[in-house]
Chain A
Amino acid sequence: MMAIATERCQPNCCDTDSMMGQTGTFAPIVDILEKENEWLLRADLPGATAETIDLRYERGLMVIRASVPARQDEKETRYLVREYGVGDFHRAFEVGEGIDASRIEAAFKDGVLTLHLPKAEEIRPRKISVQCDRN
């Protein structure tokens, strides 16, 4: 019914590792968990700040963007070793229409974004009680 685990790959959505040691746009790594009443998404966005994170939900598409400033002033310093690239983050997920968009909540702590996507009332699991037919 609901296809949250579908990633919408966009032309500028890069593999986390493919641009190692460069600048560019990176797909943040995520965990996505389904709970009874919500979907929970955690994304690693090191270097971003709450102000630079841009979250949009529109027609079933959840888009995460964050801009990350350069970590070194390259006029003053030179890189000796680069194991990771520094750049903006961008990743989009098809979460379907079954989200109560008005109640989406997000928090950011120590570089980790936690996004709560509450399920709309009509798609929550329901326990159906069986009526006993007494003749």
Chain B
Amino acid sequence: MSLIPWRKKEGNGGSLATVSPSMTRLRDEVESLFSRFANDPWGWGGLETGLTAWPRSFRADMAESDDEVIVTLELPGVDSKDLDINVSGQTLTVRGEKREDREEKERSYHYVERQFGSFHRSIPLPASVDADKVDASFKNGVLTIRLGKRPEARPKKIPVIT
């Protein structure tokens, strides 16, 4: 959802190129905040974020199948050793740190878009899960956490008796 109509691009490139990076970032944060209120029926975005929108690097998706809840986070550049994943009740907590790879601080940067630092997300789960059936894998910068639902949380097919 876009609240600000000039965000739309017309033709090649549109107007974005003329907006300074800091303005773009501010606009994204404001817009993300609005869309969070408008698009967040699960209410999980407001718990931990405060006023700062998550940088793209720490965002999460959540999907479910009949048997599982699947949470994926894009964490490019994070070392799997720096990840800490916990399940407590119906809350999944992911902590981690993206360590800075900018060792050459004195050199001249032309683009600085990537962000570093530690993050901590508590994600309410839509169903009760079995903490023994949680499986996490980290591949190519994508963390995938599969949480097996408890039998009582799985959908039941109800036969119609005629």
Q: Which residues of A contact B (CB under 8 A)?
A: 4-5, 7, 9-11, 13, 15-18, 20, 29-35, 40, 42, 44-49, 71-72, 76-84, 86, 108, 110-112
Question: A67 to nearest B CB, angstroms?
Answer: 12
Task: Count contacts on B: residues with CB < 8 A to the other chain.
Answer: 53
Partner of A80, one of B42, B101, B138: B42
Q: Are B110 and A83 in contact (CB under 8 A)?
A: no
Q: Which residue of A lies closest to B32 (CB)?
A: A17
Question: A94 to nearest B CB, angstroms?
Answer: 12
Complex CA distance for A32 and B104, rounded to whole angstroms: 11
Q: Which residue of B lies closest to A8 (CB)?
A: B13
Residues of B within 8 A of A108 (CB): 140
Q: Are A44 and B110 in contact (CB under 8 A)?
A: no
Complex CA distance for A35 and B102, rounded to whole angstroms: 12
Partner of A34, one of B7, B13, B62, B110: B110
Q: Which residues of B contact A (CB under 8 A)?
A: 2, 7, 9, 11-13, 16-17, 24, 28, 32, 35, 40, 42, 44-45, 54, 56-57, 59-65, 68, 70, 72, 74-80, 101-102, 104, 107-114, 126, 138, 140-142, 144
Residues of A within 8 A of B35 (CB): 20
Complex CA distance for A35 and B141, rounded to whole angstroms: 26
Question: A33 to nearest B CB, angstroms?
Answer: 5
Contact A5 to B76, CB < 8 A, known contacts A79-B61, A83-B54: no
Residues of B within 8 A of A30 (CB): 111, 113-114
Residues of B within 8 A of A17 (CB): 28, 32, 56
Question: A30 to nearest B CB, angstroms?
Answer: 5
Question: B114 to nearest A CB, angstroms?
Answer: 5
Question: B40 to nearest A CB, angstroms?
Answer: 8
Complex CA distance for A34 and B56, rounded to whole angstroms: 24
Contact A31 to B76, CB < 8 A, known contacts A77-B63, A78-B63: no
